Structure 1
Amino acid sequence: MQSSAPFTFLKSSSAFDDQTAFLGETGNYPTEAALLQLGHALMTELLDVIADTALEDYQTILGEALIGAFHSAAGRMEREADRARDSMRALSRDCDGSEAADVELQEVMAKARAGDAATRAAELVRDAASQCWTISTGEVWTAWRGSRRGSFLTAAQLEARQAIRSIRARKAGEADPGGPVIAFRGAPWADTAEDAGRIFDALNWALGQWPDMALATSGARGSEKLAIKWSQQKGVKLILARADFNVHGKAAPFRANDDLIALEPICCLTLAQSLDQARNAGSRPFGPALNLGQKAMEQGVRHLAIRARDA
């Protein structure tokens, strides 16, 4: 395990601090800097305690569980705030102008605002722990379910199905989901330093071509985790089309490609084999990556296979 890198937060002012400054009637709130430091400290303490012990074999499970706990808490508090907003709408609709009704409405409004602040606080701790996790271990964390808003520490993450709905809504004139989508699939064993360098080169090229791009991938281990790490470092929106093995069985990685194509990507990047030939011993090219390239060409979408620098 790598030791934790120095971790400082230099943001002089924050939306969270501005948000909570108007909630004095519900009590004092910790500052954003304090919450970020908490997330870092919790992850650092976990990694330090289990280092060089038998629990280090379970480092990934424990680290992801810690981050996921705050992600789950944020979701629960957000749902409570949404319920309070539903009550606000009902009370506003049925308000009879009495003092009692007005007091009840004000209380529900305060509950909704407090829920929003609590949700954001949990998200800040989650994002700081996630960033510390990546810096310390080189691994990246992505939410198993649902979308995740971005912060100055992380880019936004969307579920593929939600992004597909947004694209359809945009065509109907209802919404605009953002910039062009770049899809990427790669072999799980293509995770060497050479692979990472060329994946980053390809993604940097794409970002230069389409500065407002979003990266879409299935989030599989290996090369696709490297692509996710790149998106976090660059602040690029991430769209995850996860393979659902419970529903689709062995066909799941290929059904994920259907979701990627449904996002109407402007370009598909693939890496079906490691650029380090020693890693490819006994391995066929990664079928889902080949399949995405084939689907892209069938749909008239630009497809680029990532190759070694001298290839």
Structure 2
Amino acid sequence: MRTHHPGFFNTADLDGFDALTAALEDPRPHPTEPALRQLGEAIMAELLDLVLGTALEDHVTTICETFIGGLHAGVTRLDRDADRARDDLARALRDFDGSEVADGDLQEAKHRGDAVDVAARALERVRDAAAASYSTATGEVWSPWRGSIRGSAVTAAQIDAQEALRAIEARKLNSADAGAQVVAFRASPHGDAPEDASRIFDALNWAREEWPTMSLALTGAKGGERLAKRWAQQKGVPLVLAKPDFERHGRSAPFRANDQLMALRPVCVLVLPQSLGVCGTVGAPDFGPALNLAEQARHRGVRCVRIAARGAG
């Protein structure tokens, strides 16, 4: 049996909520994840301070769980709105004729769905923080009165849409079929140090052992992705390029390229958000598009691993 935890990977959770919101290109700022958590904690703290030690204390469970349940109802409602947006996307995909107008409608439908998804994930974080504070203070564990907490925002309509998108993008990006075993890769433009090359090649060799008929999907950007492209050419691995269209999409082009990569329904996503070189840019932030691709993979249940330095846990 093949191992699923190769030693050269750090599978630490990649939190790209801020990168996910940035991809929406909304001129208004989004609240950060720490701010959303703080809001949930503050709501519950204020409520508990008001109720505990008063005549309402005997009913603290019902009162607190009603508030958390209200947040959960909001998440559920937003998820339903997202489902409807995905249905619109599926219809647009079924009617797609390759025209510029149809492509614009497709992108707009996807943007609407993504915006609702972000709102649902934001309220979800407020709910979870409030529930955690409630559990810490009372020892009780909140759970929905009806239904369950949704583990994924992916719906049947979205899966159908992804299948159609995959076929469309395969035709747009490459004349040949991308294949069933697509491995998507994004890396920092600074990820071209000798240490980066070594770990990228290790990761890609591992991926090829796991998926022998893999094709490699990337944007062709400088740095780590050019190293990966060179590896694919040397190994005879098919390449699928999703080049960012800066003229059309401006600053959001790297994130739109991620949408194209995910439309290919990869079996695995590899990311190198930061150079591993000792002479790299110390203190530089992780590469946002790489974090965004990792976040998209997690939302869709696609395996995602972060390439780390040799010996990193």
Q: TM-score, normalised by structure 1?
A: 0.44
| TM-score, normalising length: structure 2 | 0.44
